[in-house]
């Protein structure tokens, strides 16, 4: 059972544009929602994370929007740059269950110069 569904699988954005990646989850017990960025040959790196007591979190050009009632969250990358080209994974976990992360399938982002 895929508990975290991520879309789109791939995304092409022009430099300076906004990249939007969406995730939906099923388990209402999830209480931690991170996004990871992965470059080829590297492990995923934590980008930004949110807990369900807030609806939005912004760090620089990266913003998470969270809709608890819809069980959806999204990553917005403002002013996208070629250096943002990577694979992005959303994830979710329960802090009272060892916080094992359940990952979405990933989105391969390409930002064209």
Partner 1 sequence: GAGVSQSPSNKVTEKGKDVELRCDPISGHTALYWYRQRLGQGLEFLIYFQGNSAPDKSGLPSDRFSAERTGESVSTLTIQRTQQEDSAVYLCASSLVAGVYGYTFGSGTRLTVV
Q: Which residues would be at the binding site for partner 1 (CB under 8 A)?
A: 6, 32, 34, 36, 41-46, 49, 89, 93, 95, 98-106
Of 69 and 100, the one with the shorter C-beta distance to partner 1 is 100
Of 17 and 32, the one with the shorter C-beta distance to partner 1 is 32
Of 5 and 17, the one with the shorter C-beta distance to partner 1 is 5
Output the DSSP codes for the chain: ---EEEE-SEEEEETTS-EEEEEEE--TT--BEEEEEE-TTS--EEEEEE-TT-SEEEETTEEEEEETTTTEEEEEESS--GGG-EEEEEEEB-TTTTTPPEEP--EEEEEE-
CB of 59 to partner 1, least distance (A): 13
CB of 110 to partner 1, least distance (A): 15
CB of 15 to partner 1, least distance (A): 25
CB of 29 to partner 1, least distance (A): 14
């Amino acid at each position: 059972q895929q508990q975290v569904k991520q879309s789109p699988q791939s995304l092409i954005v022009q430099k300076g544009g906004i990249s939007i990646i969406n995730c939906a989850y099923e388990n209402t017990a999830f209480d931690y929602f991170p996004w990871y960025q992965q470059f080829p040959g590297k492990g995923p790196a934590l980008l930004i994370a949110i807990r369900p007591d807030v609806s939005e979190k912004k760090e620089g050009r990266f913003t998470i929007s969270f809709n608890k009632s819809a069980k959806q969250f999204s990553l917005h990358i403002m002013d996208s740059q070629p250096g943002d080209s990577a694979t992005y994974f959303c994830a979710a976990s329960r802090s009272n269950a060892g916080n094992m992360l359940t990952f979405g399938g990933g989105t391969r982002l390409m930002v064209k110069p």
